[in-house]
Structures are given as C-alpha cells and as structure tokens.
Structure 1
Amino acid sequence: MHAWPASEVPALPGKGRDLRIHDTATGGLVTLDPGPVARIYVCGITPYDATHLGHAATYNAFDLVQRVWLDTKRQVHYVQNVTDVDDPLLERAVRDGQDWTELAERETALFREDMTALRMLPPRDYIGAVEAIPGIVPLVERLRNAGAAYELEGDVYFSVEADPHFGEVSHLDAGAMRLLSAERGGDPERPGKKNPLDPMLWMAAREGEPSWDGGALGPGRPGWHIECVAIALDRLGMGFDVQGGGSDLAFPHHEMGASHAQALTGEHPFAKAYVHAGMVALNGEKMSKSKGNLVFVSALRRDGVNPAAIRLALLSHHYRADWEWTDPVLDTAVERLGRWRAAVSRPDGPVADGLVEEIREALANDLDAPSALLAVDRWVAIQQSDGGADESAPGLVSRAVDALLGVAL
C-alpha cells in the first residue's frame, strides 16, 4: 500500500532540541533520546468514514513529533497502518450496499488526499492489515504454541495472564478495563474465556464475511491488536521510540498490543513511550462515527477553507487536550493565516533568530504548539507596528513555520 507524497521540509540554521513528551505509561514527561533513526508507529484509520477532524488532530500531533526529530538532524522511520478489514468497515459496507474492499479503497484514497492537503509528512511504511496477514498468522501460532493463547470454538484468544506487564500502559483497574473492552470492540461477556479481558487474535471464518488462509489456525481473519503488533515488529522491532494514537487507543488497543509483543519476544517494553492525543468534540460530544457528529477535512476543503487554516486551527490546541470544534476556532485560524502571510510578504522585518528558538523550545516541551503560535503572533505584531531592517527575517520565519509547524506561508 502506498502513502501520500511528502512536502519538502525546509532546512533551518542551528539544531533543534530533544523532545520531552508525555508518556501515558509513566504518567509524566520523558525525554526521548532516539538514535540516528527515530522510530515511531502511529495507529491508522479504519477506512469507512475518513478524514474527520479527530483524525486530523491526531495525525497533526505525530507530524509535529516527526518535525521536531528532523530538526535535530535525525532520520525518522515512521510506520502507519490501515485497518482495512474490521467489523465496523464490514457493517458500513452492508448498510450502504457496497463492496467492502471498494469502500476501504475509496476512503483510504480520500485520507491520502486530506493528508497531502494538510502537509502531513507521510510514513515510510504504510501497511494495510490485509497485506500483513501472512506475517500475522505465524505470530498467532507462536503465541498458541507457547501457551500464551488458546482456542475457543475455533477462535483464538490471547491470555492476558501471559504478560506480567499487562496493565502498565493504561494503569486502569479491572472494572474500568472490562467496561472499555465492551465499548471498544472486545467481548468480555463471552462464555468460556479464561479472562473476560482476553482479546481475540484470530477470528474463525464467519458466513458471509471475508476470510484468509490461516494455516493451522484454519480460515479466518486477524484480531485488531495483533495486526499492529505484526507490522510494528516487522518494520521497527521491539523498543521503538513512540507508539502513538488517540487517547481512546490507550486501552484496549495499545495495552493489548504491548502485551502481545512482550509475550512474543520476552522483551519489555514494546515502545519506549506511549503518546496519546486528545479527543475533538462537536456540539458537546466527542466526534465519532457512531454518533455521526463529524466534521470532515474534505468537506471543509470543498467549501473553500484553506488547508493551512485548518492546520492552524488544530495547532491552536495542545495535542493532549480535549477540545471542541466551533466556527470561531476556524475563523480565528483564517484570520491568523492572513496576518502571518501579510507579514512574511514584506521585504524586511525584525530579526527572527530568537523566534526560531522560541518555536523549537515550545515544541520540544511536549509539543506545545499553542505557545509556538503565540511566539509567531508576537513577531508578526512587531512587524506590523514597527517593521525592521533585516531582509532575511521574513524568509526565515516562513521557512521555520513550514519546517516546524507544517504551515506553508
């Protein structure tokens, strides 16, 4: 599966700072010190309704992570998956009378278009769950052979008891886990499971649903969590730098994925930091496909909204915050974009070296994009009121805003 084209990242003078970021597993800030190649895995979309602003906010956060690392003169190995077979996708296809593969392909193509418009840097590896199945089957067999998985009426379940570190990502109690499992694709009430929280690794073929050859497992399709584990282990290996996604993935998805990988390898941790973006609401409720209260990037673009303004609207909220999309949020972003573009279009301006360092410092401090925007606002205000004599300043500001914030002026 191919990703989307990369926009050029301008080179800046000097060197960026190492990133301090909030790690869900430790509950505090950690300073990431990757090697020459920083490794990040971000969970991708289930392509049946893309790309809403909740998606965009999440991928914007991890785009900033890439940009901070690139500014430290590192390379970045970014991997993202597409859950291109899953119950919600199949249910939507049946509801709309569509072929599920055509639905997945169409929505994935739209997602690529939106990511390109928003200047999100693409992953090096963009992998669909379906194409990963040949690598998933052996992992499930290994878990079963090691006694870390068991069969129940043809389905194969992972035993959470097999990982002594289970629970160390989300730090939830068993009751909270059980509730979230039921809400987020699990089946804690199924009779016969060893533990209600045990997640499915391999679903035996169901009538009328797609299935693949599982070898000794029999025909079927993989569970949600093992898909990401197989892709991450294959492309990044254990102990990669950041596992990322929305805050609703901390449990069960990232918790279960970590346990799968740790039981498979005997190593810990799966990722050095678990980083989660907040949720975006509309009309007082979290944007979700099930509720239908979605604002789509493609719809905003069709209405003539500049993608740079959409990106500025996302950047105006801290990535970990839960916030609400409103017309004033977008109006403020449109107005800000106009002021910034007018400022950098002038032939000279106030010295901007300090501004570049302010943006770097803000982003290195847990991706504090709102503070970075305010720093640019201050430079623009001086430019508007007093001007300046530095002919290189507008160009430097334009390059810095592009390289570090992903906004083309």
Structure 2
Amino acid sequence: MLFIAERRPALLASAILSLSLVGCATGPKTYDRSSLTAAQEQVIASKPTVVQQDYRNLYEEGRRNEVLNLMEIGLKAYRAGHLDEARAALDRARVSIESIYADDDAARKARSVWYEEAEKDFKGEPYERSMVYLYLGLIFLEQGDYGNARASFISGLLQDAFAEEEQNSADFASLIYLAGWAALRMDSNKLAEEHFQELMAFRPDAPIPADDHNALLIVETGQSPRKLGDGVGHYQLVYRRGKDFPDVGAQWQAGETWETVYPMEDIYFQASTRGGRAIDRIVEGQVQYKTTTRDIGTNLSSVSQNSLLAGASASAGGVLGAGFAAISLVSVAAQGMSAAANVRADIRYWEALPDTLHIIPLRAEPGQQVTVRFLDKNGQPIPGLTDTTEFRFDGRGQGLALATSRRP
C-alpha cells in the first residue's frame, strides 16, 4: 500500500477524500422493510389491537429493530392488561439484550467500531434495558411470582450499573424499592430491610410500606427521553427530555381527598447520567461528562419538595470532566478509515416509556377502582387528564394497579 501511495499520490488523496465524505455523511439512513408472509399477517391479526402495528414493525424491520419493537409491544400490552402477551415480548427482548454480549457474529458486529452505530442490532441504552427488567418484574408481581420479580429488579440494577464504556454505581431508585417490595411479599424481611436502607441514600423521604399495605399504585407521567444525533456527521449522541407534555405529577383519589403519588424515578435523569454524573454527549462509545456543576432540578423536585436522588445530587457537584486519550494514527490513510467508523449515532429509542415513574404503597381490595389525576409543573390538576384503573390481585393477597397519562 505504501508503494502504491508513493507512485500514485493522486489516487491516495482521492481515496482519503472519499473516506472523509463517508465520515461526514448526514441525515437519517433509509432501511428496507421486508414484505410480510400470509402467516405473519395472520399472527398480526390475532394480536390485541393496541400492538398490531408494532407486530407489523417487528416483522417488517427484522432483527435490526427486533429488541426495540419487542419493548414497544411489551409495554403497550402491559398497559392494556394483556399480561401474557407483555411477558412474552419483554422476555424475548431480555434474551436478545443478553445475547448481544455472546461470542457470535451478531454480537461481534454490534460491538465493532467498523459498523456505524445506526446499523447495529438495537440493544437499548442502560436505562432502556433496566426498564425491560422493571416491567417484567411488575408482571411477575401481578402473577404472584415474587422470587422472579425480585430477581428481575436486581437484574435491572445490574443493567443500570453496566455500560460498555465503563462500570458505574447503580442508582435506579424504583428498582431498589420494588426489590424491597418483592422481598416483603416473600416474607424475607431481612432482605427487604437491606433494600429499603439502600433506597434511603437516594430517596430519604420515600414512602416505606407499612404492615397493612397490600398493594402498590404505580403511575406513569410524561413522554420518553429522546436521543438525538449531534455534531458533524451526527456521530455524537445526546439526550433530551421528551417534548410537549404538561403532566409532571400525579395524585390518587382517597375518598374525598387527593393524595400525591410519590415521584420515584426521573427516567430522563437515568438516561442522561452515568453513576449520577451528567452526560454531555457520547462519542464512539465513550461518555463525555459535563465539566461544570449541573443543575439537577427535575420534575421530581418540583412535585415532591426536592426529593431528587440524594446520592446523585451529591455526586453531581464539582468538576465532573472525564477526558479520554485521542487515538494515535500512523498514517493519513488511517485517519480516513477512522472517519468512516461510527459515522452516525444510534438515535433509536423506546418511545413508549414515560418521563417519570411514581409509586405509592397502600391498602386496597381486589378489583377496587382508583382514579388518578395528573398535575402540571405548578402542582395544579390538568383539566380532563385523568386515568381510572383497578387493583389486580395475584391470588396471594397482594395487588398492583398501573395508571398512565400515555394514551394507546
């Protein structure tokens, strides 16, 4: 190659220019959608209406978006009360997520810098993978399988702690809380106490279950965090809060009064941090941290008297910069090759997720109806925005209800 370069400098210059242009490509790339077979059309028709379009996407978009579409199917089916459908989809997503790190061609491709991020099989960011385990755990709770519920919540914490660029401490408060709740249901009071003690580092004012509490009310508000491509060639990944949603808080009707549902998790905060440190952007698998103190006030603080993660708040102050060494290139040609790698950030994201997750333990009866109203940033009820749901009990005396401002 060096011999050719010496004799044909114009050819080399042209090759480098071509590689540079590849690296600077902008805009979304269009991917072909597969035609559906008659059997696939029949499967789609047999599914609940709320997830039929997502099943169509699953078949048409293939393996590249398989995990993403399974996430969408699982969450939408769960909200609609189709527990078996939701569990099957989320479990398939879980298996695919875990297989990404196996020793096979697809896993190697997913980790390789020689395939742009947007072409890889979608596996989700740490917060998305954690939410797969969270919703799976809720389904296990509803089905009375407390051991698998707790194991799922713990697995979600591991996904929160692990990112390809480095290891970080897990601070997913809702998963810690739910693991404690599952432990109580297992009559493992010692384990439950350990979980709730850990929770206090992040949520010192969280509502710890009382002895007579036999049900959880979980409320979703807001729109999913967004991923955006930034910089020349769209190769930098940045996070932004969801757009155009007014609801940041929730209250449930307890007789003649309305009581606040505790805002346990800011999903955007989880998306845009690692180990409590604010992410500026992600470039070629490397996290860059903001170098100035970040104002971490979120929906949580505005709704529940500054009940933001205490541990995350403490670690967010001061200088958070984390530099990383530039790659030394031995030739101009190598620079061109580098420009061709990872040219676009993967901006696919789980759109059905909420912005904030609210949780409150209480006493309820099987089939009891509960009405939830949603609050704006000033703590005022939003006219016409309510959800009525019921507590589904598992046959072992424990119940769970999910209310959401997200419409099908």
TM-score range, shorter chain: under 0.3
TM-score (norm 1): 0.23
TM-score (norm 2): 0.23
| Structure showing greater Rg | 2
